[in-house]
Structure 1
Amino acid sequence: MAMDVSKVGAESSVHEHAYGWRELATYALGIGARRDGELAYLYEGHDGGIRAYPTYGVIPTFEPVRELMGLAGIEMAQVIHSSQQIAVHRPLPPTGKLQTVAKVDGFYDLRRFATARLTTRTELEGELMFETTWSIVVQGEGGFGGKRPPKEESLSIPKDTEPTFERAFATSTEQALLYRLSGDDNPLHADPKIAAEAGFEDGPILHGLCTFGHVGRAVVLELAEGDASRLVGMGGRFSKPVWPGDTIVVRGWDLGDGAVALQAAVSERPDPVMTHMWARLSKA
């Protein structure tokens, strides 16, 4: 089935996502949260109820994004998640029922392949909670005469400047199996045979959004004194795969006024795994 570029502007149905402390804690564990220093994100008995890492906002978008990909004739075997952005409008309460709608923002032509840009809006009881932007490479679908993709938001890393912080997170060999419990159940991240067929001979890779969540944790822990409600936006490109068991190293440069330039790598290999990364923090 060929990608249907006439679906620009199409919207998904409204998808509901009910969550409580189990969902929030499972997600926090999936992005590596630890008992020491992060118990508020893992335990429902915390004063005021369990807290939520704001990158949880990607979780209710999976189903509407999949619906639109199917509508546009995009098969999972064709896609590579190339970048992700999230805008956080309000912190999540400990329980709720979210409503999410996805939209096809555009299809862009890079000759050898295409890029699909999808956006989502998530509300809780009529109030906007999250907006996300997904950029997805669609292999084998370029050359249709479309425009090139627009530039994405990014913040430049200051030249010849040491990072404000560097934080290392050791992932477990079961990290992808744990993260997929939150709903991102693509077998590429679980099944060695499927991973090998996709070119990953060393085994299933970690979800890009799991790495994304680790980066969000680093910003919260290093620059927001553990208060995740201050993380109001984040984005970046996925540049290299991460394998469960790798150690994710996040470096951040505090640029002032809540702006943070970021880069993520793994200690096992030299190349960055996420680039063009940025975060925005509200004032304390």
Structure 2
Amino acid sequence: MPLDPNAIGTKTDPQLFQWTDRDTLLYALGVGAGTADLAFTTENSHEITQQVLPTYAVIACLPFAAAGLIGSFNFAMLLHGSQAIRLYEPLPPAGKLSVVAEVADIQDKGEGKNAVVMLKATGTDPDTSKVVAETLATAVIRGEGGFGGQPGQRPAAPEIPDREPDSKIALPTREDQALIYRLSGDRNPLHSDPWFARELAGFPKPILHGLCTYGVAGRALVAELGGNDATKVNAIAARFTSPVFPGETLTTSIWRTEPGRAVFRTEASNPDGSDARLVLEDGAAEYSD
């Protein structure tokens, strides 16, 4: 059975996701935070209260369970195209969410072309039913077009101002960054097994998780827009454009466009600045002053 356009709007049953302060600390380490970021990497430092990066929402409110509702396809042909999060209140160091995943859209780009699937998740407080987090992931499934769906339209990209960015924040990644990030849940060997990356995926070595790159950019946004207060950044969206290799430096350029809104893009490069290329585009963030 191919992809089913009638699956649009279908939802999973609620699933309870629980996490501890260890999980949020490990996530922060997984996206490159360290000794200079003790509010995110420790829970018992003197006069420091633990914070949770807003991008932890991609772990706590995962939409990919809805992929099981869209029909049959080859998972090896799936690419993560874009990711967005929105928080209605900050995520606590330890907590729980009742998560419902939904097929938001399925776009048919034509016979022999791609299918684009949009998966949404809503996380509510199981005690109050209040919505805490929403995530939206776009997945591109190569070669799965031609199933009889509508072509849809790509959302308009945020406009980057024709001026220098208000800030550029360069954050290094470790050679073993993907080995740390995978402990937050994504054990795909593409990010850890040199043989798998080389022989089955065509990369010279394992690549960094796209959501790790997204989380590193999120750290830059928290630093610039939130003044290192994670509770002030409540929405982040970006499109993945190129793979990143562990050990590369990620530089995020940020433009404030209007009160409470900013746009950004992220480049990867070798530590010496060579081989620079865009890896996150169409970035948009919302924050409170």
Structure 1 residues 256-275: aligned runs within 5 Å: 256-268=258-270, 269-275=275-281
Task: Name the SS of the counterpart of 2:139 in structure 1.
Answer: strand
Aligned counterpart in structure 2 of residue 142 of structure 1, from 131, 142, 145: 145
- Find the aligned partners of 2:84 and 2:43 in 1 and give their Cα distance: 28
Structure 1 residues 229-268: aligned runs within 5 Å: 229-268=231-270
In the TM superposition, residue 153 of structure 1 has moved relative to its aligned partner by: 5.8
- Find the aligned partners of 1:20 and 1:165 in 2 and give their Cα distance: 33
- Find the aligned partners of 1:245 and 1:70 in 2 and give their Cα distance: 34
Q: Is the 8 A contact 1:98 1:123 kept in 2?
A: yes
Unaligned runs of 5+ in 2: none
Q: Is the 8 A contact 1:237 1:275 kept in 2?
A: yes
Q: Is the 8 A contact 1:86 1:132 kept in 2?
A: yes
Unaligned runs of 5+ in 1: none
TM-score (norm 1): 0.92
**Aligned-residue CA RMSD (Å):** 1.8
Corresponding residue number in structure 1 for 2:91: 92
Corresponding residue number in structure 2 for 1:282: 288
In the TM superposition, residue 198 of structure 1 has moved relative to its aligned partner by: 4.3
In the TM superposition, residue 98 of structure 1 has moved relative to its aligned partner by: 1.5
- Find the aligned partners of 2:95 and 2:61 in 1 and give their Cα distance: 15
- Find the aligned partners of 1:224 and 1:150 in 2 and give their Cα distance: 33
- Find the aligned partners of 2:212 and 2:27 in 1 and give their Cα distance: 9
Q: Is the 8 A contact 1:9 1:103 kept in 2?
A: yes
Task: Name the SS of the counterpart of 1:35 in structure 2.
Answer: coil
Verify: 1:219 aligned to 2:221, yes or no: yes
**Alignment-mate amino acid for residue 270 of structure 1:** A
- Find the aligned partners of 1:122 and 1:48 in 2 and give their Cα distance: 28
In the TM superposition, residue 149 of structure 1 has moved relative to its aligned partner by: 3.3
TM-score (norm 2): 0.91
Instruction: Give the total of aligned pairs.
Output: 279
In the TM superposition, residue 265 of structure 1 has moved relative to its aligned partner by: 0.7
Query: Could you give the per-residue CA deviations for residues 179-231 of structure 1, whole angstroms, max 9, x where no partner exists?
Result: 11111222221222222244333111111111111111101112221001011
Q: Is the 8 A contact 1:69 1:75 kept in 2?
A: no
Corresponding residue number in structure 2 for 1:54: 54
